[in-house]
Structure 1
Amino acid sequence: MISLTFVVWVYMYIRRLSYIMTHHVDYAKLGKSSALVELMPEEVSYPSDNLKNLFELPVLFYVISVMAIQSGLVDEVLSIAAWAYVCLRGIHSLIHCTVNNVHLRFTFYIFSSLVLWFMVVHVAVVMLSAPLL
């Protein structure tokens, strides 16, 4: 997930800077983030929108992953679910940053969200069933 976030961040700047340079956008007009939205075509903002999205539910992924690792609760089920989540979010980001087909993007978003909530429940069940020390 960290690698995905980095790739989207780099792609966002590639898209923005290439637009600014090829269209000779006046830097003075870019003082506010809303100016970017007004001055650039919608598709140039797709990666930026996706980057913001990567700091919403994925934060829960980081927390549940660290909790599970620190508590020694990582099992095969959680590992498979975590990789499924990362792959689904990767596909979601690819769609969001390029064609931005909302129906297709939402499909991957909802499946990744269901996997994430499964991970939360799985860790909770494993924690509650673990013997107290």
Structure 2
Amino acid sequence: MTPQSPEFAPIIAPVVALVAWSMVMWAWMYATRIPAIMRMRMRLDPSAPRGEQMNTLPAAVRWKADNYNHLMEQPTIFYAVALALALLGQGDGLNLVLAWAYVGLRVLHSFVQALINFIQLRFLVFSLSSLALLALTVNAVRVVF
């Protein structure tokens, strides 16, 4: 199947873009975390309570990991609804615009959290992305039910 084939739903592009962005954040997380661990000469303890040792890292280092974790949470709903819309033949038009809006806002959310972590701005961007996801969900519900 190619992007030119009739089976290709345009909404697949933002799905793949968000997966790719998640991998960028994964790389950024380790590109900052590993040097910080080495600078601090941390001795990683597998019996330490989950996350306890990482909490000793500088906040700006932890923010990247926090964002990567956030990209493993709500976006899973985006993937499900976007793929459902693709299968339903509804992966274009307004749904495509909403999907790209969601992805763009999640990327912006990543930059806000990873660089400055200004919580009020981060919450605003998260809320806007959630509204885009809600609209996608309502559109899918309307088609299915």
TM bin (shorter chain):
0.7 to 0.9
* 1:35 aligned onto 2:30: no
| Counterpart position of 2:136 | 119
SS for the counterpart of 1:6 is helix
User: What is the Cα deviation at residue 51 of structure 1?
Assistant: 1.2
Structure 2: distance between partners of 1:100 and 1:30: 29
How many aligned positions are there? 126
1:16-95 aligned within 5 A: 16-27=33-44, 29=45, 32=48, 33-37=51-55, 39-95=56-112
SS for the counterpart of 2:90 is coil
Q: Which moved more, 1:104-113 or 1:12-21?
A: 12-21
Are the counterparts in 2 of residues 30 and 36 from structure 1 also a CA contact under 8 Å? no
User: What is the Cα deviation at residue 67 of structure 1?
Assistant: 0.7
Q: What is the one-letter code of the residue matched to 2:77?
A: L
User: What is the Cα deviation at residue 23 of structure 1?
Assistant: 2.7
User: What is the Cα deviation at residue 31 of structure 1?
Assistant: 5.0
SS for the counterpart of 1:25 is coil
Computed over aligned residues only, the root mean square deviation of the Cα atoms, in angstroms, reads: 1.5
Q: What is the one-letter code of the residue matched to 1:9?
A: W
User: What is the Cα deviation at residue 41 of structure 1?
Assistant: 1.6
User: What is the Cα deviation at residue 44 of structure 1?
Assistant: 1.2
SS for the counterpart of 1:73 is coil
Q: What is the one-letter code of the residue matched to 2:110?
A: S
SS for the counterpart of 2:116 is coil
Stretches of structure 1 lacking an aligned partner (at least 5 in a row): 129-133
Q: Which one has more relative contact order, counting CA pairs under 8 Å at least 6 apart?
A: 2
Q: What is the one-letter code of the residue matched to 2:59?
A: E
Between Structure 1 and Structure 2, which shows a larger proportion of helix residues?
1
